[in-house]
Structure 1
Amino acid sequence: MDAIIGAIGTFVKRRPEIPTPSDIESILNPPLPRPDWAAYVSLKKSVQEGNYLMPDERRFLRECEEYAKKHHAEEMDNYRAAQLQIDQHLRSLAV
């Protein structure tokens, strides 16, 4: 209950109207930030070159892929563009 009251207080400080349930939900559980697709491509290229990734880097890759799947309509074009860059890099390594 304290979290909900705190969320309402946070909302009212920003806007003059009464918050809707979805407003409160977004304060309590904010949406994940959009992935940094350039960093994703860079890490995937590094893997293809045989470099070891740290656990947080592997987690970042997984989170980007999960985000793209959950936000299919919004992010799939960005994910596909990233995959295209990665595939091109892999082909350049094979030459």
Structure 2
Amino acid sequence: MQQTKFCIKDIKSQPTRVDMLTVYSYEMNVYLVKLSVGDSTGWVYEGNSPKRFTSSQQIRDVFEGLNILASQMLHESPYDEMIGNPASAQSTSTLPFSMKQPY
């Protein structure tokens, strides 16, 4: 798969079918979004930096109205490292992520 930088303004200005929207959840309310569109995959950028989201609702608001076929959230837990254990193979959780607005 080809790595691409997806600019937020470009995604919103042209019709784009997103095969998979993946939310990467980090500590302290930091979320990054990676898109898969056809044969390309990559992070969502705003300017020269990856777009940093502060809530799951902000992600829904920014991508509202786009044709998103599937979405998921990946959360990496640093718990093992925090207590001095080696990194666990099970430290990443894949969760369903709904793009539906909670009206």
Shared topology, TM-score over 0.5? no
Q: Which is richer in strand?
A: 2
When Rg is computed on C-alpha atoms for both structures, the one with the higher figure is 1
Which structure carries more helix by proportion? Answer: 1
TM-score (norm 1): 0.23
